[in-house]
Amino acid sequence: MIDVQPTLNDKEVFDFIHNGYIILESIIDEDFNSKCQTLSPGHLTDFIQSRSFRQNVLLHPQVAGVARSLLGPNFTLPTSAHNHLYEHPHEGQTLHSDGLTESGYGITHLQCYYYPQLVEIEDGPTIVVPGSHQRLVDREAIAHYGNITGQVCLTVPAGTVVMTHYGIWHKAGPKINQKKRSMIKFSFFRTQPPKRDWVIESDEVPTYQHSGRHRYVTEVESYRDRRRGEYTWNWLCGLTEYQAEYHPARMFVTGIPLNQIQL
Ligand SMILES: O=C(O)CCC(=O)C(=O)O
Ligand SMILES: [Fe+2]
């Protein structure tokens, strides 16, 4: 099997549990970014399964290292992706979580946003709400929220990959120029029960460290976040009973386990 080393330590796993995303800034090679800027909008299949996309993006040591840390050794590589390419000005999307977000505490699905070009505020960056993956709601029910205190605009340098918990609330922000802005979205899935096999210094499992309130969160909700964070941490460390579940989003998104990939 292709050797992928985990990159996250306990503290970084806590941060992912708390925020629901991790930003890997400017990691993809410039020439490859330029190549991706010529892709058509919409569904991508062959290109995503090409050796060059696998080598430059999916198996980039930092991208694969996060997938390996949060999803275990035999995570799946995507067979398709979607190029969210906007060129003309638009008002932006309403807040949503994608498709069939799961309801459990575990981390089984990482949805990634790859930006092959610089994204500035005028370009309509993706906007994410940190910690919102803890709040499973009806997709339509959050569409009426405007901007939420503490939301993060992903204004990022070219070659950035943002890896998110699938349930995170997000939207494409308003765009006021005529520049092309692409975001290539793809997913990694878990295929094995979790255990604490990321970068660890000691076999002793630390207790979950809660990072405090997100800016839009009040005291009582913060307790709920802490509790949910603890559940997720214990689950990831393999301390909770594990039931293999077929992630609902896999009805639409497929992948190939790493042990079946040959470059
Ligand atoms: O393009 C973006 O920034 C986000 C797009 C998106 O979330 C969607 O279409 O589901
Ligand atoms: Fe979306």
Q: Which of 47, 50, 61, 45 lies closest to 2, judged by CA?
A: 61
Whether 170 is in the pocket of ligand 1, judged by its Cβ within 6 Å, is yes
Q: Using a pLDDT cut of 70, give the percent of the chain over it.
A: 98
Q: Is the CB of 123 under 6 A from ligand 1?
A: no
- What is the C-alpha to C-alpha distance for residues 217 and 240, in angstroms, rounded to an integer? 27
* Separation of CA 126 and ligand 1 centre (Å): 7
Q: 69: CA distance to ligand 1 center in Å? A: 25
Look at residue 161 in the predicted model and tell me its pLDDT: 99
Whether 97 is in the pocket of ligand 1, judged by its Cβ within 6 Å, is no
CB 166 within 8 A of CB 188: no
Question: For 64-71, what is the mean pLDDT?
Answer: 98
Using the predicted structure, report yes or no on whether residue 128 has a pLDDT greater than 70: yes
For helices 219-236 and 10-19, give the axis angle rounded to 10 degrees: 130
> Which residue lies with its CA nearest to atom 2 of ligand 1?
172
What domains are there in the chain, each with its CATH number?
10-258 (2.60.120.620)
Share of the chain above pLDDT 90, in %: 87
Q: How many CA atoms lie within 13 A of 227 on its CB side?
A: 7
Distance, CA of 129 to CA of 20 (rounded, Å): 9
In short, whether 84's Cβ falls inside 6 Å of ligand 1 is: yes
Q: How far is CA 139 from CA 96, 104, 164, in A?
A: 6, 16, 17
Phi, psi of 53 (to 5 degrees): -70, -40
What pLDDT is recorded for position 101? 65
pLDDT tens for residues 129-145? 999 998 888 888 899 99
Q: Does the pLDDT value for residue 170 go beyond 70?
A: yes
pLDDT at 211 over 80: yes
- The answer to whether 37 touches 181, Cβ cutoff 8 Å, is no
Enclosing H/E stretch for 223: helix 219-236
Q: How many helices (H) and strands (E) does the chain have?
A: 5, 11
Of the candidates 27, 194, 191, 48, the one whose C-alpha atom is nearest the C-alpha of residue 116 is: 27
| pLDDT for residue 102 | 67
Which residue lies with its CA nearest to atom 4 of ligand 1? 172
Ligand 1: does its nearest atom lie under 6 Å from the Cβ of 183? yes
b (16+ CB within 10 A) / e for 58-76: bbbeebbbbbbbbbbbebb
Hey, which bits of 38-159 come out as E strands? 42-44, 76-78, 81-86, 109-115, 126-128, 152-153
pLDDT of residue 12: 98
pLDDT digits (tens, 9 = 90+) for 181-201: 999 999 999 999 999 999 999
Span 69-117, pLDDT tens digits: 999 999 999 999 999 999 999 999 999 998 776 667 899 999 999 999 9
pLDDT digits (tens, 9 = 90+) for 145-162: 999 999 999 999 999 999
Give CA–CA dist 198/205, Å, rounded. Answer: 12
Ligand 1 near 33 CB (within 6 A): no
- What average pLDDT is seen over the chain? 95
Contact between residue 118 and residue 179 where contact means Cβ atoms under 8 Å apart: no
Q: Which of 185, 186, 252 to mutate to test the pocket of ligand 1 (most atoms within 8 A of CB)?
A: 185
Nearest to 124 by CA among 169, 173, 185: 173
Q: What is the pLDDT of residues 6-29, one digit of tens each?
A: 999 999 999 999 999 999 999 999
